[in-house]
Amino acid sequence: MKTPTLLATIATLTLTLTLTLAPLGFAGDNHSHGHGSKIEVVIPEKLSDLWKTIEAEHAKLSAAIEKKDIPAAHDAEQHLQAYLKAIPTKTVALEESARTRIDGQAKNLARAYDSVHHASDDKAWDKAKSGLKKAEGSMKLLAAQVSKI
């Protein structure tokens, strides 16, 4: 096999594996806390609509943390995790560099929300609010990436 053909084959296989396994990358970072939401989550078809849903759910999480409402915080955080896990399926058609930035920032945001969840479990409200601030920073970075497409 000639070098260009071999490189193209390797690139295709790498991309296929990355897209297939990318959703699994969230599983290690964001584990089940054993008290997830019982509400079904509907994933919007378009990335722009998914982003609007994430913003709305973030507002619910923020309000729940402000009220120190653990069940509402858990529901919102679990919904956010589901929405963030769906992002790689919405970025498949994008250029690789854009997809990598968006998917990576989604993972960062998922980790930030997970820290908010842990803090709310511990009733460490100052820590939860601090985690929420980190999440808001990640949201701004992700919003900038999403708005470019």
Matching residue, tokens 């296989």? 13
Q: What are the residue ranges of helices labelled H in the chain?
A: 3-29, 47-67, 70-90, 96-121, 125-147
Please answer whether residues 81 and 26 qualify as being in contact, where contact means their C-beta atoms are separated by less than 8 angstroms. yes
Position 64: which residue type? A
How many Cβ atoms from other residues are within 10 Å of residue 28's Cβ? 7
Give me the percent of the chain exceeding a pLDDT of 70: 74
Average pLDDT (43-62) is 94
The domain ranges of the chain are 47-149
Residue 6 — very low, low, confident or very high, per pLDDT cuts 50/70/90? low
* 47-149, CATH topology level: Four Helix Bundle (Hemerythrin (Met), subunit A) (1.20.120)
CB 98 within 8 A of CB 149: yes
% of the chain at pLDDT higher than 90:
57
Is pLDDT of 20 > 50? no
More confidently predicted of 10 and 85 = 85
Average pLDDT over residues 56-73: 94
